[in-house]
Chain A
Amino acid sequence: MSENVSIVIVSHSPAVARGAADMVRQMVGDDVRIACCGGNPDGGLGTDVGAILGAINSAWSPKGVAILVDLGGAETNSEMAIEMLDPEKSKRVAICNAPVVEGSVMAGTEAACGSSLEEVKRTAEEFQS
């Protein structure tokens, strides 16, 4: 299972993050490691750098981690979290420029095929057009 790219879902809303993760899991079962996080450090709507770091580490795969985010702060905080990882790890994490729910499902199914991080990212981002 650790041979596949993992998926991390970051939403302002914990419920959205969990829901999107459920949808990916339904598609790919245990073939892809999925972690999600949502909510600010007080539990309100927002995102939390510490929680994002935790999600990346808990889902870690040597093949890489694809992150799907919703709005502005989720992306900014995810970029911050990636910079705070070990440099060796941060090279293998990518944020996908895609809608969070659809992008997560696309990325998850691509990852389940054993694709590379670049391929997973491309598939998630293709959905936009």
Chain B
Amino acid sequence: MTKNLISRLIAKIADSICASADDLTKLDQAIGDGDHGINMRRGVEALLKQGDDISRQDFSTALRKAGTAIVMSVGGASGPLYGSALLAMAKTASSMPSNQAEVGVVVAAGIDAVKARGKSDAGAKTMLDVLIPVHREIENGSSIDRIRRVAEESATATKPLLAKKGRAAFLGERSIGHIDPGAKSAALIVHAVCEVLEKR
């Protein structure tokens, strides 16, 4: 079951990222350097390539191997950000979380790692603007449906924000009016995870 779940998570996340890679790149062309879709696709392709090995491992080792694969393959800032999140989650998760509260603890470790790696926090127009509200819903025991909706709404809500991090920060006020590509990819990942967990 564990193995099956990990491989399904990888497959769904990869599907979702690849299907939206062009959209992510378009968002990034508006306020960044236009490579987020390409980088994220390279990351999930690395996950798929190592998928058999990763899904054979216990939960913590699987997260660690997935994090390393992302770090070594992505080539943009999103690699160390998502990779550090997975590596931190691997350290916190001794085994597969068995309830939503345990999922919350693991996700919190990932978010702390993203904050530290990116030297950022909520409100800077980054993936944290999706991950933090999603974590709050997990902690509140919200339904999967609500978590998925909050992820999407939070990504959209980055549109009016002024970017304070990454290449988008160079644009200053011109970053206003565009959805942050990192927030969008985070929402896609949350969406994919929700889909898999819902069908469990």
Which A residues have a C-beta under 8 Å from some C-beta of B? Answer: 12, 39-42, 44-50, 71-73, 76-77, 79-80, 84
> Does B60 sit at the interface, judged by CB under 8 A?
no
Contact B117 A48 (CB under 8 A): no
Q: Are B166 and A41 in touch, CB under 8 angstroms? A: no
A125 CB → nearest B CB, Å: 17
Docked CA distance A70–B75 (Å):
14
> Are B71's CB and A80's CB within 8 A?
yes
Residue B83 CB within 8 A of the other chain: yes
Contact (A49, B79) CB under 8 Å given A41-B72, A80-B117? yes
> 11 A-B Cβ contacts within 8 A?
A40-B35, A44-B75, A45-B35, A48-B72, A48-B75, A49-B79, A71-B167, A72-B166, A73-B75, A77-B77, A84-B71
Interface residues of B (CB under 8 A from A): 33, 35, 38-39, 42, 71-81, 83-84, 117-118, 165-167
A9 to B84 CA separation, bound complex (whole angstroms): 23
* A44 and B35 contacting across the interface, CB-CB below 8 Å: yes
Task: Pick the residue among A39, A44, A72 that contacts B77 (CB under 8 A).
Answer: A72
Given known A-B contacts A42-B42, A45-B35, A49-B80, A76 and B75 have beta carbons under 8 A apart: no
Docked complex Cα distance between A84 and B33 (Å): 26
CB < 8 Å: which of A44, A45, A49 contacts B72?
A49
B39 touches A76 (CB 8 A): no
**Interchain CB contact under 8 A, A46 and B76:** yes
Closest Cβ–Cβ distance, residue B126 to chain A (whole Å):
11
Bound form: Cα–Cα A72–B168 in Å: 10
- A80 to B35: give the CA distance in the assembly, Å: 20
10 further A-B contacts with Cβ under 8 Å, apart from A48-B72, A50-B72, are A40-B39, A44-B38, A72-B166, A72-B167, A73-B79, A77-B75, A80-B71, A80-B79, A80-B84, A80-B117
A58 shortest CB reach to chain B, Å: 17
A84 proximity list for chain B (CB < 8 A): 71
**Interface contact A79-B77, CB-CB below 8 Å:** no
Partner of A41 from the list B73, B81, B83, B118 (CB cut-off 8 Å) is: B73
Task: Choose from B35, B71, B118 the contact partner of A46 (Cβ within 8 Å).
Answer: B35
Q: Which residues of B contact A80 (CB under 8 A)?
A: 71, 79-80, 83-84, 117
CA distance A42 to B45 in the complex (A): 12
- A42-B83 contact, Cβ under 8 Å, with A79-B117, A80-B117: no
> Which 3 A/B pairs are nearest by Cβ-Cβ distance?
A40-B75, A46-B75, A73-B77
Residue numbers in A under 8 Å from B38 (CB-CB): 44
- Say whether B77 contacts A42, CB under 8 Å: no
A40–B42 touching, CB < 8 Å: yes
Residues of B within 8 A of A44 (CB): 35, 38, 75
Question: Chain B residues near A45 (CB, 8 Å)?
Answer: 33, 35
B residues within 8 A CB of A79? 80, 117
CB proximity of A44 to chain B, nearest CB, Å: 7
Q: Measured between alpha carbons, how far is A72 from B77 in the docked complex, in Å?
A: 7
Q: In the assembly, what is the distance between CA of A40 and CA of B79, in Å?
A: 11
Give bound CA distance, A20 to B1, whole Å.
52
